[in-house]
Structure formats: structure tokens, C-alpha cells
Amino acid sequence: MTKLRAPKYMGQHTAASILYESGEWRKVPLLEANEGKLPPNLIVVGDRRRADTPTESITSAANHLSTYVDLSAEAQRLCGNKGRVNILVGFYKDHGSDIPVTIFETQMAMGAQDITLQEALCLCDPRGYNVADKRLSANEITVIRVGSCGGINSDSTDKAIPPVIMIGDLVIGESSFGHSGVIRQRLSGLDYDHPKARGLFERRWNEMKLKKQGNFLCVDSDLVVVAALLASARALGHRAHLGNNFSKETLYCEESDVADFLALRQIYKAMSTEMEHLGIGFLARYFTLHGVPVRHGLISAVVGALPEQSFPRNEAERQQAAGAESAAMKTALDALWLLSIAANSD
């Protein structure tokens, strides 16, 4: 394989790296027993309110944690610098036994996520985590993307191919496909549209054993993560669809022809569109190839449904969307719990 540089982070953009590099992690609960590393059960979000202390928003992950530490606040207190994103580390304890989790804001879209998520993955230990007087084993880092999405139907509601995706539903992504200048520039250099660079990209993409969906780049979610998400959604009684996802690079591409999105459902069975998961799948493969195993999955709350609309139009729909965002977070935490219990069942 054409040699790719081993993963590392450049600069310190998050509280995780600020605390780690300063050594002040020794004064932070959970981190101090793990040499400054983050729990390898990782939920990544684009909206900082999902990785914030409890507010009136029901979408905050903190509402589902028994205890937690706000790393951004700790970095501000100890180092005078909170970093650019919100990070919580804490315990999810709804099933009688607790697991340590990281809730990490990556910001919106693949460009910002490429920087912040690489930092997070560099600071997770895939082998496990020390909690009090015991060691919880792990075989890899597990990353679950939790966020909002646009549902994609093949036509207007009364003519759409079933299942019809509606505001308030959940979509669990079996795969994500799309285009990414971020990935292309990482693999083939600054002028990634040059004919020679395009050839280099194709070679490296294939050598990483990643695939395509038609002309689009494509990553598959890990089957065990998909199964855990689906089992959790069903156990919680949520209306959840299993299907493919389209990762776009700009929100404003929806101002182009909506028919292009409907064709994604008709041709590629895409049920949702968001802006991050393709990049997560690429980073997971990149780290795994360098000996840091990462598995990943996606669960999204439907906050708009094409072709009718991209966002809620009234208070009832806004409540449905917020409820789905909270449900997506709870489902992802339950899935992490299932996966962690499986890893420690020996």
C-alpha cells in the first residue's frame, strides 16, 4: 500500500489535547486513572448543545448520564483554554452497570470534523478503560455518530416507495456515500483535481479497501454496531428505519434540484442525508490500518423529509424533531452499553 502517515494531531483544538499535553489531566476524574486518555465508547455530535451540561433542551446527552465531567470547563479552569468544542466524559448507567462514555462535539460537516475527530481518536485507548478499581476491556474504539438528518423519500408522501420517512423517525445507516474534498485532499494532495492526483486518489482509496456506490465514495457501518443500534431502537419502541445515508459537504446543495435527492432513494436506497458519516468511516479505516482499531455506526433523527420540506415548519413538528434527537441519543448510549457488556462478558 502507498504509505500514509501514522495518525497524529496538529495543534491543540480541543480540551482533550489541551489537558493531555499540559499534564493537567492528573486533576480530572476519570482521566487521572487513564493517563489522560478518553473512554473508547465515543458518541460524536455536530451540535454543541448535545455535548453540553443540561439545559432546557432535551437533546443534551448529559440528561442520560448518571455522572459526568465537563472537560471543556475543566480545561478552562486548569489551563485557561477550553478548546473549540464541547466534550463530556461520564457514565451511562441505565441498566444496572455503568460504562464510561465520551460525548464529543465535532462541529458541523466533514471539514471541521476531520480536525477534531482525529484528535479524539488519537486520545482514546482501544484496549479498554480503568474505572475505580477495575479495568473495562475493549477490543476497539467505537464511534457512533448521533445527529439530525433530512429524510429522503422517492416522491411525495402518497406516492413514495415504502417505508415513508417522516419527521420524528430515526434512521440507522448501514452505509454512507457521497463526495468529499476533505478525503480527496488527504489522499492525493493540494491540487486534488489534477489528473495525476485523481489517479493517486483512486489507487490509495482502493488500497485502503474502501468501495464506491456508483460514482460516489462509500463506507459501510460496522455490522455489530448496526445490530446494536437496531436492537436498542426496537427495545425502546422507536420508529427506526435501516438503510443507506448520503453524506453531503454543504447544506446549501439542497437549494439545487430536489429531484437529485429523490433519485438517491430510487437508485441507491438512501433514506437520509447528513454531513459527517462518510468522513467518520474514512477516519475509522485510516486509524484501523495503522493498528488503532475503530468501528463506527450512524443513527440520525429525522428533522425534515424531502421532497416536502427540509426543516420543521410548526411547533408540533419541532417537538417531534426534538423528541427524535433525544431518542437517537438514548438509543446510541444503549447500543454502546450492549457492545461494552459483550466485550466484558468473558
275-322, pLDDT tens digit by residue?
A: 999 999 999 999 999 999 999 999 999 999 999 887 888 898 889 999
Q: What pTM, to 2 d.p., does this model score?
A: 0.96
CATH number of 15-343: 3.40.50.1580
pLDDT at 157: 83
pLDDT at 2: 47
Question: 289: how many CB neighbours lie within 10 A of its CB?
Answer: 16
pLDDT at 151: 96
pLDDT at 3: 62
The cell 434512521 sits on which residue?
171
Neighbouring residues of 275: CB distance < 8 A, sequence distance ≥ 6: 46, 108, 109, 110, 247, 248, 249, 250, 251
For the purposes of burial, counting CB atoms within 10 Å of the CB of 240, is it exposed (0-12), middle (13-18) or buried (19 or more)?
Answer: buried
Question: 245: how many CB neighbours lie within 10 A of its CB?
Answer: 29
Joined together, the cell numbers standing for residue 51 give: 455535548
Which residues of the chain fall short of a pLDDT of 50?
Answer: 1-2
Instruction: Determine phi and psi for 235, rounding to 5 degrees.
Output: -65, -35
Neighbouring residues of 3: CB distance < 8 A, sequence distance ≥ 6: none
